[in-house]
Every structure is written in structure tokens, then in C-alpha cells.
């Protein structure tokens, strides 16, 4: 297997992030990923990958806290080769409900993690690549909610993902001539814990019938698109928002 440089995945301990960590490690990347609370899940994933001969490392860091991002970027391992990819995956919705009931605290927290965290990490990584005269690939994880608006569920969350998509398009154009690529994957409803955290564990089953394919996604189906965008196979792709949403 080809040994590649290092990829940083935020929120890699569970869900879409964990599937991305697995696929990226299996593709030969050294993978560093963050978690916030589930150290058990993060360490179990690292142990499984290392035991199978892959390179993986986890770091606790809340991407909604700028000082955590500073600490994360200064504690990246030195033995996994140069950083060649960033996956801004960590994200949250806040509680499901009508927009009129959404608290300021929820709006601030969801924006801090989904938007500011994505921007700060991207700025760090782009600055490092430009200073070194190298390049790499950034993949931002958006949501089909950016297109659909998520009425009655989490309009504020959909708006943060709209911001992620605009950020992706603009940054990609700004950097295109440097060889740095910036893309987004926009998943449809996927079987992860995010729905239980939002207050409705059965949400995937409830919404499946309104998806053209009549089913929700498995995390690996989203991760396949993310890892493809990281790789040189996607060398002419930048500024794209790839919907992986069963036809939605």
C-alpha cells in the first residue's frame, strides 16, 4: 500500500468522522483525529487501526474553542509525514425544534463549531501550506440541510452549513492557482448518533420515506466521497459541493 502524508479529521471518534478515519487510514494516510468527550471511542478506534498496521492518533480538542485549535495545531505528531489533508467534519445541530424556540446559546455554539471552527482550522492549514510552498486538500462536511433549510427542525444549523458551502466556494477560488483544493461533501440523513443528540433517536426512520432513494446513508457512504476528494484522484476538483444524499 502506498504510504501517504498526514490527514487531520475533526470529530473522528464517531459517525461520519470515524468512517472517514478508517477509510483514510486504509488508503495509506497517517490519520490524526479529534474528539471532545468520547475518549473511549477515540482510543478504541486508534487501537484497532494500529493493530491492523495503519497509522492513527487522536487528540482531545473542541473546535468551537479557538485556544483548543491553537493547542491542537501545535501538538500534531511529527512522525506521520507532512500534513496533506484537512477534513472539517466536527459538527452539531443543537436541539430539534422550531426556530422561534432556538436559544442564543445554541445559535452561538452551533456557529462556533460548524463555521468558526472550520474557518480557523482552514486558516491555520492554508497558512502553513503557503509558507512551506506546498499544497493539500481541504474537505468541509456540510449537510443537505444547507439546500433544504431544515424547517421545523434546525433552521439555524442549516444556515451554518450554508455558510460552510459559501466558504468552500470562495476559499477554493482564492487558492485554486496555488494547488490547494477546497471542496465540501453535503450528506443527506446518515445513521449516526447526531439524531439522538438532537433529541430524536428515531429521526432517520422518520425521514427515510421523503428521501428519493427511500433510505438514509451509512457513514461509510459519506466517507467514500470525503476520501476521494482528499486524494489526487480528485486533482481537478475544487470549489465543488458534492451532494451524497440519496437523490435529495
* Chain residues in the site for ligand NAP (CB under 6 A): 10-17, 34-38, 41, 62-64, 89-92, 113, 141, 143, 187, 189-190, 192-194, 197
- Which C-beta is closer to ligand NAP: that of 133 or that of 247? 247
Residue whose CB is less far from ligand NAP, 63 or 126: 63
**Pair 225, 246: CB distance under 8 Å:** no
| Closer Cβ to ligand NAP, 11 or 136, answer by number | 11
The residue from 35, 124, 157, 236 that is catalytic is: 157
| Residue 38 C-beta: closest distance to ligand NAP, Å | 3
Least distance to ligand NAP from the beta carbon of 196, Å?
8
Task: Report, in angstroms and rounded to the nearest whole number, the Rg of the chain calculated over CA atoms.
Answer: 17
Q: Does residue 194 contact residue 222 with C-beta atoms inside 8 Å?
A: no
CA distance 15 to 6: 21
Active site residue 35: no
Closest approach, Cβ 110 to ligand NAP, in A, equals 9
Q: Is 89 or 183 the residue whose CB approaches ligand NAP more closely?
A: 89
Tell me the closest approach of the beta carbon of residue 189 to ligand NAP, in angstroms: 4
The residue (of 6 and 69) whose beta carbon lies closer to ligand NAP is 69
Q: Which residue, among 152, 172, 147, 144, has the nearest Cα to 229 in the 3D structure?
A: 172
The Cα–Cα gap between 206 and 220 comes to 21
Shorter beta-carbon distance to ligand NAP: residue 176 or 193: 193
Q: Nearest distance from residue 187's CB to ligand NAP, in Å?
A: 4
Least separation in angstroms between residue 126's CB and ligand NAP is: 20
Q: Which long-range contacts (CB under 8 A, 24 or more apart) does 164-171 make?
A: 164/88, 164/114, 164/115, 164/118, 164/140, 165/140, 165/241, 167/115, 167/118, 167/119, 167/122, 167/140, 168/140, 168/142, 168/239, 168/241, 169/239, 169/241, 171/122, 171/126, 171/138
Q: Which residues does the annotation mark as catalytic?
A: 157
Amino acid at each position: 500500500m502506498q504510504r501517504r502524508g498526514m490527514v487531520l479529521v475533526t470529530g473522528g471518534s464517531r459517525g461520519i468522522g470515524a468512517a472517514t478515519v478508517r477509510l483514510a487510514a486504509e488508503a495509506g494516510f497517517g490519520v490524526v483525529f479529534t474528539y471532545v468527550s468520547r475518549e473511549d471511542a477515540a482510543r478504541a478506534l486508534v487501537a484497532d487501526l494500529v493493530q491492523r498496521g495503519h497509522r492513527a492518533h487522536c487528540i482531545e480538542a473542541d473546535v468551537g474553542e479557538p485556544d483548543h485549535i491553537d493547542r491542537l495545531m501545535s501538538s500534531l505528531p511529527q512522525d506521520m509525514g507532512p500534513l496533506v489533508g484537512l477534513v472539517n467534519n466536527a459538527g452539531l445541530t443543537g436541539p430539534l425544534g422550531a426556530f422561534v424556540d432556538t436559544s442564543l446559546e445554541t445559535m452561538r455554539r452551533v456557529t462556533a463549531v460548524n463555521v468558526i471552527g472550520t474557518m480557523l482550522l482552514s486558516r491555520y492549514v492554508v497558512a502553513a501550506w503557503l509558507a512551506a510552498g506546498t499544497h493539500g486538500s481541504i474537505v468541509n462536511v456540510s449537510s443537505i440541510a444547507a439546500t433544504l433549510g431544515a424547517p421545523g427542525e434546525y433552521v439555524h444549523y442549516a444556515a451554518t452549513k450554508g455558510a460552510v458551502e459559501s466558504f468552500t466556494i470562495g476559499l477554493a477560488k482564492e487558492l485554486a492557482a496555488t494547488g490547494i483544493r477546497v471542496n465540501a461533501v453535503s450528506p443527506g440523513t446518515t445513521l449516526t448518533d447526531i439524531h439522538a443528540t438532537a433529541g430524536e433517536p428515531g429521526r432517520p426512520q422518520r425521514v427515510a420515506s421523503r428521501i428519493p432513494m427511500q433510505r438514509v446513508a451509512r457513514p461509510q457512504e459519506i466517507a467514500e466521497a470525503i476520501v476521494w476528494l482528499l486524494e489526487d484522484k480528485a486533482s481537478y476538483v475544487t470549489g465543488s459541493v458534492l451532494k451524497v444524499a440519496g437523490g435529495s
